Amino acid sequence: MNGAAFKSRLGRALLAVFLAVALLFFAAQIYFLGKVLWYETHAPSRTAFMSYRMGELADKNVNATLKYQWVPYSKISRNLKRALIAAEDSTFVEHEGFDWDGIQLALEKNRARGKTVAGGSTITQQLAKNLFLSPEKTYLRKGQEAIITLMLENLLDKERILELYLNVIEWGNGVFGAEAAARRYYGISASQLSAEQAAKLAAMAPNPRFYERNFNAPGLRKKVGIIVARMPQVELPD
């Protein structure tokens, strides 16, 4: 085979690979799009993040189970809604999926510390990850997260996004969602959470499995006070 023929065959092979990758990419986006549309009116039976955690738990205990119970938006305390927004995404009702000021601030904090200490992710971005993706911190995963975030923001209203997030967020080892968390830590339903109880759950959210073991950590108590002070200024997507 001469050089020209080899280059021609190589070019066709590379084109075939590129087209195959592009086809898989678009097929994945169609799948995610269909699931987002489904979640507009249906509750998730299990998210990708739940499945990931379940795999970890099952490796240690074959009888492990998840604590997860969907409750509608109206059955979740307004205190918890305010606390989560105050703690995680103060511009939730205003942004279109991304908090660019928050991202810039997180980058500056990370540079100053020399390691990742802040993420700058919005509630919508976290929901995209929890519903569909793994916790791996790769550029590919972040890129897919961004695409799903845009789908969520354009296809669902803010109230539905917050309702989904409150129901699927991790709150301990095998504990997912507001109802399971309220019953796990306080023995009450999600609708009954007080301002301080809600603030504590919100404070736990960035590292729930650690705080489950250290429920009275001094740092957690300090965060609760800050969140409670911010809650009256929070705007809810009602």
Residue-level pLDDT at 64: 86
pLDDT digits (tens, 9 = 90+) for 151-205: 999 999 999 999 999 999 999 999 999 999 999 999 999 999 999 999 999 999 9
Confidence of residue 16 (pLDDT cuts 50, 70, 90): confident
CB neighbours of 206 closer than 8 A, spacing ≥ 6?
Answer: 88
Give the per-residue pLDDT at 176.
Answer: 97
CA angle 198, 157, 121 (to 5 degrees): 60
Q: Is the dihedral of CA 100, 127, 88, 235 positive or negative?
A: positive
With a cut of 70, say whether residue 72 has pLDDT above it: yes
Domain spans of the chain? 1-39, 43-233
SS3 for the chain is: CCHHHHHHHHHHHHHHHHHHHHHHHHHHHHHHHHHHHHHCCCCCCCCHHHHHHHHHHHHHCCCCCCEECCCCHHHCCHHHHHHHHHHHCCCCCCCCCCCHHHHHHHHHHHHHHCCCCCCCCCHHHHHHHHHHCCCCCCHHHHHHHHHHHHHHHHHCCHHHHHHHHHHHCECCCCEECHHHHHHHHHCCCHHHCCHHHHHHHHHHCCCHHHHHHCCCCHHHHHHHHHHHHHHHHCCCCC
Q: What is the CATH number of domain 43-233?
A: 1.10.3810.10
> What would the mean pLDDT of 1-16 be, rounded to a whole number?
72
